[in-house]
Amino acid sequence: MAVNHRKFYFTGTGAIVASAPSVPGGSKLVAVLVHLSAGGAAASLTIKMNSIQGAAFDVVFVTQAMSGLLDYAYIPTNPIVLSPGDSIDVAYANTTPTYGVTIILLDE
Q: How many domains does the chain have?
A: 1
Task: Read off the pTM.
Answer: 0.91
Question: Any idea of the CA torsion for 82, 4, 30, 37, to the nearest 10 degrees?
Answer: -120
pLDDT tens digits, 74-107: 999 999 999 999 999 999 987 778 899 999 999 8
**Domain residue limits at 37:** 4-107
For 36-79, the pLDDT digits (tens) are 988 877 789 999 999 999 999 999 999 999 988 899 999 999 99
CATH number at residue 91: 2.60.120.230
The reported pLDDT for the residue numbered 18 is 92
CA distances from 93 to 20, 26, 31, 38 (A): 19, 29, 21, 14
Rounded to an integer, what is the distance from CA 84 to the centroid of its chain?
17
